[in-house]
């Protein structure tokens, strides 16, 4: 296989694998911050309310 072939193989396979790994790391790293499936969509009137003593 020519150098071009290795280069294309490396870029395509490395690129798609690296891209997926990067995305998955971000997804897993944000699991706790992610609003998804936290509990429910909180009512903004409750979440934005100033704490009262």
Partner 1 sequence: MSSGKKDGWGSSLGVILAVTGSAVGLGNFLRFPGLAAKYDGAAFLIPYFIALLLVGLPIAWSEWAMGRFGGQRGFNSCPGIFRAIWKSRASPYLGVLGLIVPVVIYMYYLWIESWCLGYALKYLTGSLSLGSEKAAYTDHFSSYVGIAADGAFFDQGLALPVLCLLACVALNFFIIYRGLSGGIEKVCLWGMPLLVLCALFVLIRVLTLGTPDPAHPERNVVAGLAQMWDLRGGVPGLLKSLANAEMWLAAAGQIFFSLSVGFGVIINYASYLKKRDDIALSSTTAVAGNEFCEVSLGGLITIPAAFLFLGAAGAVGGTFGLGFQTLPMVFDRMPAGQLFGFLWFFLLFIAAVTSSLSMLQPAIAFFEEGLGLGRRGSVSLLGFITLMGTGIVVWFTKDLAALDAMDFWVGSFGIFVLATIQTLLYGWVLGPKRGREELERGALLPIPRIFDFVIRYVSPVFLLTVFILWLHQSWASNWQAIQTQPSVRIALVFVLAVIILFVLLIAHAVRTWEARERKTA
Q: Which residues bind partner 1 (CB under 8 A)?
A: 1-2, 4-6, 8-9, 12-13, 16-17, 19-20, 22-24, 26-28, 30-31, 33-37, 40-41
Q: At closest approach, how far in Å is the CB of 50 from partner 1?
A: 20
| Percentages of the chain per state (helix, strand, coil), in multiples of 5 | 60, 0, 40
Q: At closest approach, how far in Å is the CB of 49 from partner 1?
A: 17
Listed residue (23, 24, 45, 44) closest to 35, CA to CA: 44
The tokens describing 7, both together, are 């280069």
Q: At closest approach, how far in Å is the CB of 24 from partner 1?
A: 6
């Amino acid at each position: 296989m020519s150098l071009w072939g290795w280069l294309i193989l490396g870029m395509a396979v490395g690129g798609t694998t690296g891209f997926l790994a990067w995305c998955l790391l971000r997804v897993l790293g944000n699991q706790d911050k992610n609003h998804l499936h936290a509990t429910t969509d909180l009512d903004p009137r409750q979440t934005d309310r100033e704490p009262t003593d």
